[in-house]
Structure 1
Amino acid sequence: MHQTDLLNVNETMNYWDTLSDDEIIKKFKEQGSWGLYTSVDLKDCDPATIRDADRIKQFIVELCDLIDMKRFGEPTVVHFGPCEKVAGYSMMQLIETSLVSGHFANETNGAYLDIFSCKEYGPKVMAEFCKRFFGASSMTTHVLFRD
């Protein structure tokens, strides 16, 4: 990877912050991208919520309804981790157009969510929903078009 490639990646990440969901979706369609990917990193989440498998399943259902994604099967939510640093629930939900996944870190009360779909959705509305649902104090998001 060249230095100019790194600059373009950084410019792209900052660029999305200036656009509305409608503008992002318009660009997604105009470019004929194959998929829309959003990563959402949440800090200082409500400990009770990220440690509750039923609440995480509720989150998956509500998120898929919000972004109009048809769930394929039931969500998978499993608690594991080889050490305290990474222990917590991981979740996965197949959707007809790809996948919603994430991991919740007990030690830091963090959440790391990934939403990928070849059908467009509003990444900012989705990310704000995630932040509210888990009671996070801060959020970092990245939006990528996959070609």
Structure 2
Amino acid sequence: MQTVTLHTPEPLPVRTGYEGIHAMNEAIERNAWGIASSVDIYNCDPSTIRDADAIRRFVVELCDLIEMKRFGETQVVHFGEDERVAGYSMVQLIETSLISGHFANQTNAVYLDVFSCKPYLPETVQQFAQEYFEGSHSNLNVSLRY
């Protein structure tokens, strides 16, 4: 049997240079197709990331917060034969693209992605998600799509 050592990375600064309102403003000014943000959240509350209904509530609240119109129901499916990746995965279509995430049981981490051609504040997503899932820290990466 192989022993795996797990660790949670220390928080990193936003690597793309897009911070706060600047990402949203630049997306508007440069006529970007959209904003893509990825949030990795560490040391989350195990009971919340293992609760499909809590994940669905998170999506509804997040969409309301960043003013995205949901299209259809949130899909939440638990799978993963390999314990390293086992957990819930979520996808929510929004009228301006989609929100997706994976909730890793083994590390109690959340990997959340939001892509929208409607401008939004990535830091709002990061802060809300980290608070909702009670993570100790998170990393945010933002890119503009053209």
Q: Same fold (TM over 0.5)?
A: yes
How many equivalent residue pairs?
133
- Aligned to 2:134, the other structure's residue is in SS state coil
8 Å contact kept, 2:35–2:117: yes
Unaligned runs of 5+ in 2: 1-13
Q: 1:23, 1:116 → 2: CA distance?
A: 17
Deviating beyond 6 angstroms after TM superposition, the runs of 4 or more aligned structure 1 residues are: none
1:25-40 alignment, distance < 5 Å: 25-40=24-39
**Can you give the 5+ residue segments of structure 1 that lack an aligned partner in the other structure?**
1-11
Q: For residues 124-135 of structure 1, what are the structure 2 equivalents within 5 Å?
A: 124-135=123-134
Q: What TM-score, normalized by structure 2, do the two folds share?
A: 0.88
> Shift of the alpha carbon at 1:62?
0.3
RMSD of equivalent CA atoms: 1.1
Amino acid of the residue matched to residue 105 of structure 1? A
2:82 maps to a residue whose letter is C
CA distance in 1, matches of 2:102, 2:25: 30
Query: Where does residue 102 of structure 1 map in the other structure?
Result: 101
State the one-letter code of the partner of 1:74.
E
Cα distance per residue 1:95-125 (max 9 Å; x no partner): 0000000000000001100000000001111
The CA deviation at 1:23 is 2.4
Question: Matched residues, percent identical?
Answer: 53
Match of 1:81, as an amino acid? G
Deviations 1:23-82 (A, max 9, x none): 221111111100100000011000000000000000000000000000000000000001
Note if contact 2:16-2:143 (Cα within 8 Å) is conserved in structure 1. no
